[in-house]
Every structure is written in structure tokens, then in C-alpha cells.
Amino acid sequence: MLRFHNTLSNQLEDFHPLNGNEVKMYICGPTVWNFAHIGNFRSFTFGDILARYLRYKGYRVTHVMNLTDVDDRIINESAKKNISIDEMTAPFITAFWEDMDAIGNLRPDIAPRATEHVAEMIEIIQTLLDNGKAYESDGSIYFRITAFPEYGKLSKIKFEGNKVGGSERIDTDKYEKEDARDFALWKLVDKSDPAGWDAPFGYGRPGWHIECSAMSMKYLGETFDIHAGGIDLQFPHHENEIAQSEGATGKLFAKYWLHGEFLKIDNEKMSKSLGNEFTLRDIIGRGFKPLAIRYLLFSVPYDKQLNFTFENLKGAESTIDRLQDFKKRLQEAHLTDGINTDLQEKVRGFLNDFEEAMDDNLNTSVALASLHNLVREVNTALAHETVLTEDRSEILHIIDKYDSVFGIFGEAKEEILDAEIEKLIEERQEARRNRNFGRSDEIRDLLAEKGIILEDTKDGVRWKRK
């Protein structure tokens, strides 16, 4: 049984999607004002491993990750360079996807941009104005926290001591707010400012938090399964997303909240503002393989901090070299015909350990240990010449299963596994027997998307790769 530590309940919970076999997940994406650093990529790689493992478990996943392509930093930079915000962000968006590919993160299914969803944000803000959960002050619109009594349920921060006009301001803003905690949904900007949009409540631009409420609900519905992001987003960003979304819909926003811990360096959070960051490009420029970074980033479970050093990066690189080399040797070994059921059973046992570890709130370090155990066992068997031809295909198949989640063996990871294809074909046959032709066509299309062609013959269904 897959279990997650849900930040909302602060408990380890069994995972039950809202709707059968479908999982709808949202992860907060990058602010594209600069190259993402490897701390950012720790969060995105955690999101990738999460989506991959859900697919491994057979769920149909819709993975949405936004791009924040308007904020103060982007506006300031573009004004400095005298270019539009689109011109300012375009090269960083391209670079971001290049980096994602290089580090082996599969692209999300949908990657909406904030600037293309302002209409949806305006709609939510209008709903909040209409139902009294937002108010106007000096032309800007604020969320009224006193109108949402559950405020604080995610971060567990108690706000009693922080009354109107209190000295402990959480957020500094130049406008008058009813309550220090209230946050901006819409910021008034001058008509001459190009970084603004028309709204019924005035020319302005959206606050950061409203972006994620609008884009997640647009693509995943008012209530969806999983919302993830780095731990620094828990408060205020995610707390505010909940307030805005639930304040507008009256429904639960996201069922499971997962937060990834920091990548640290010299025991400080890696961040642009501290100037201690390395981008993926910096690391590759120093001669390291991007997959070594990937390995390092998920070698510690997502909910534990990880301290970055070049020493442990070197270690990660020699580990993936060893793993890739092992696979190659196994593929090329001259083996005797036959089957060694003992060995196969052991190897399947390791995969079982992997699943148990991943089911346990994605414990990637224990899951990786099972892969290393597999390699040790098979290496010993190779040395004793007890790996036989039929074992090889089974072991390679199991390595593919590991790699559909880890993505470290350096091959085209999007490729659908044979076993998955067979399973889908079976499901399609079943759908046709039940005269559910909608579903059967859907499966045919899904397979076509992955480059699998089906042929209905009198002897049954045959398939081939394009």
C-alpha cells in the first residue's frame, strides 16, 4: 500500500486517489527569471520521481507544473534591459526544459504559464470579492484572512498574536491592509506599466499565490489529489493557495500535500539570494554528468535535507558509472542456455524490496539499496557463471522497471515497457468484450502516442513499435 506523509494532516496516510485509478497532481514550477539551480532541481526531481512511481503503480497520472513568468524580479529585470517580460523569460524557459531533459526529468503533461492564465485568476478574485473574502484597498485587492477561519491548517502556524496593525508583519506591502496577514491577490499598477492587465477591479497584475490556484484548478478540477513543492512554499504560498481556492469554491482544494526538503550547501539553504547556488550548467561545465546530479538529488529521501558537496557528487558519478557498466556487461555476457530459478527469485525479491521502500513515502535511499543488492547478487552469479540466458532477459526487464522510476541508466526513459503494453492490450480486449468502445479507442490512442501500433488479427492482437 502506497503511503505518503501528508503535510496537511501531518500523518503518514494510505494513498487513495479521489477517482479510481486516476491521479491528478500539481507541483509548483520555477520562476523563469534566471537559470534554475540544483536546489530547485531537487524539488523538480522529487516531483518527477513521484509521478514516475505513481505510473509504475499503474495509476493514470496527470502531472501539471506551472511556469511563473511574471513577478517582481522578472518585471525589474525586463525594465532594466528595456525588453518585454516575454522577451526576458523566453531564453530561461528554453533553458529550463533543456535542463529538465538533461537531468532526466520527464516533462509534465501540462506546463501552464501564469501570463496566459490571468483571466482565470481574475475570475477567482471576482468570486472572492463577491463572497466577502476579498476587499479593495488603495486600488489593490487583498484576501481577508478573518473570513477564512481555517487559515493556518497547512502550516500549523498560530496567528493569535498577529492582530491588525501588529508590529510583527509577515508580509511587507506598501498599501493599507485590514490585517497584517492579509495578502495581495491583485496589485494595482500604473496604466503606463506594460506589465499589467485589465480587470473589472482595475488595471493591475496578479499576486503570486493566485497563479497556482488558477492554473491547478483549471487543469485538475476544484479538488485534486496531490499538491507538491519545496518546503519553503508551505507557508505562505501553499497556505494562501488553500485560502483562495477553498474560499472561492467551498470545497477541499488538494487531498495530499507533499513537501520536499532543501538541498543545502555548507549547511545553508542553496538559494540565489544567498549567492551559494550552482546551476545545472555550472555543474555540467565542471565535467560532471547530469545523471550523477540526478542520482545525488534523490539518493536521500525527499523529506530529508541533503547537504551538497563535490565529494558526494563524485561518489554519485562513480555509482552511476558502475550501474551502467553492470547493465552493459550483463547485456554482452556470453551465457549458457537455461534458467536459474533461484537467481530469478532473488532478483524479484529485490524489486519487491524496492516497491516496499517506495510505498513507504518514497524512501528512495532504501529503494536504491535494493538495486545495489541486486547488482551485487548478479555480479557474484556472473562470476560463478550461474546466470543463464533466460535469466538475463528477466534481470534486464527488472532493471528496466527500476529505471522507469529512477531514470539513471541513460536511455530513452519515455519508452513504455513491454509489460505495460501487454497490460493495456488486455484491458482493451476486456473493454471490447464489454462493448466499451470508448475506452478501447482511448487505449489504442494512448498506445499510438507512445509509438505502439496494434494489429487485430484472427489469432488475436499483435503489436509492434513504430
- Residue numbers of the site for ligand AMP (CB under 6 A)? 28, 30-31, 39-40, 42-43, 68, 229-230, 232-233, 260, 262-263, 269-271
Place of cell 505495460: 420
Output the smallest distance, CB 269 to ligand AMP, in A: 5
- DSSP-derived secondary structure letter, 83: -
Rounded to an integer, what distance in angstroms lies between the CA atom of residue 465 and that of residue 169?
60
Q: Which is nearer to Zn ion, 31 or 370 (CB)?
A: 31
Q: Which does 7 bind (CB under 5 to 8 A by kind): Zn ion, ligand AMP, none?
A: none
- Please say whether the beta carbons of 202 and 188 come within 8 A: yes
Q: Which does 230 bind (CB under 5 to 8 A by kind): ligand AMP, Zn ion, none?
A: ligand AMP
Query: Which residues make beta-bridge pairs with 264?
Result: 269, 307
Query: Which residues make beta-bridge pairs with 136?
Result: 141
Nearest by Cα to 113 from 221, 185, 32: 32
Nearest by Cα to 304 from 23, 42, 88: 42
Q: Which residues, 6+ apart, have CB-to-CB distance to 288 below 8 Å?
A: 313, 317
Q: Which does 34 bind (CB under 5 to 8 A by kind): Zn ion, ligand AMP, none?
A: none
Place of cell 501539471: 64
Output the smallest distance, CB 212 to Zn ion, in A: 3
- Please say whether the beta carbons of 27 and 44 come within 8 A: yes
Q: Which is nearer to Zn ion, 211 or 391 (CB)?
A: 211
Output the smallest distance, CB 387 to ligand AMP, in A: 40
Residue from 212, 263, 371, 447 that binds Zn ion (CB under 5 A)? 212
Q: Which is nearer to Zn ion, 30 or 301 (CB)?
A: 30
Nearest by Cα to 255 from 63, 6, 5: 6
- Please say whether the beta carbons of 173 and 184 come within 8 A: yes
| Per CB under 5 A, 28 contacts Zn ion | yes
Stretch in the footprint of Zn ion (CB under 5 A) among 21-29, 218-226, 296-304, 328-336: 21-29
Stretch in the footprint of Zn ion (CB under 5 A) among 25-33, 171-179, 340-348, 360-368: 25-33
Q: In terms of C-beta density within 10 A (0-12 exposed, 13-18 middle, 19 or more buried), how is residue 252 classed?
A: middle
Output the smallest distance, CB 312 to ligand AMP, in A: 15
Output the smallest distance, CB 254 to Zn ion, in A: 11
Output the smallest distance, CB 404 to ligand AMP, in A: 24
Q: Which is nearer to Zn ion, 207 or 407 (CB)?
A: 207
Output the smallest distance, CB 149 to ligand AMP, in A: 27
Max CA pair span of the chain:
81
Output the smallest distance, CB 449 to ligand AMP, in A: 29
Rounded to an integer, what distance in angstroms lies between the CA atom of residue 446 and that of residue 377?
37
**Of all residues in this chain, which one has the CB nearest to ligand AMP in the complex?**
230
Q: Report the half-sphere exposure of 171 (CA within 13 A, side-chain side).
A: 21
Q: Which does 212 bind (CB under 5 to 8 A by kind): ligand AMP, Zn ion, none?
A: Zn ion
- Please say whether the beta carbons of 367 and 298 come within 8 A: no
C-alpha cell of 100? 529538465
Instruction: Please list every residue from 132 through 191 that binds Zn ion, using CB under 5 A.
Output: none
Instruction: Report how many residues bind Zn ion under the rule CB under 5 A.
Output: 2
Q: Which is nearer to ligand AMP, 143 or 208 (CB)?
A: 208
Q: Which does 39 bind (CB under 5 to 8 A by kind): Zn ion, ligand AMP, none?
A: ligand AMP
Q: Which is nearer to ligand AMP, 92 or 253 (CB)?
A: 92
E-only strand ranges, 95-172 = 134-137, 140-143
Output the smallest distance, CB 373 to ligand AMP, in A: 29
In terms of phi and psi (left: phi > 0; alpha: psi -120 to 50; beta: otherwise), the region of 447 is alpha
Compute the Cα dihedral for 277, 281, 283, 286 and give only its sign: negative
Q: Which is nearer to ligand AMP, 102 or 417 (CB)?
A: 102
Q: Which does 270 bind (CB under 5 to 8 A by kind): Zn ion, ligand AMP, none?
A: ligand AMP
Rounded to an integer, what distance in angstroms lies between the CA atom of residue 7 and that of residue 25?
15
Q: Which does 213 bind (CB under 5 to 8 A by kind): Zn ion, ligand AMP, none?
A: none
- Please say whether the beta carbons of 75 and 115 come within 8 A: no
Stretch in the footprint of Zn ion (CB under 5 A) among 24-32, 170-178, 181-189, 287-295: 24-32
Q: Which does 42 bind (CB under 5 to 8 A by kind): ligand AMP, Zn ion, none?
A: ligand AMP
Rounded to an integer, what distance in angstroms lies between the CA atom of residue 158 and that of residue 71?
28
Nearest by Cα to 115 from 210, 217, 240, 181: 210
Stretch in the footprint of Zn ion (CB under 5 A) among 161-169, 208-216, 434-442, 456-464: 208-216
Q: Which is nearer to ligand AMP, 209 or 428 (CB)?
A: 209
Q: Which is nearer to Zn ion, 196 or 207 (CB)?
A: 207
Which residues of the chain form contacts with Zn ion (CB under 5 A)?
28, 212
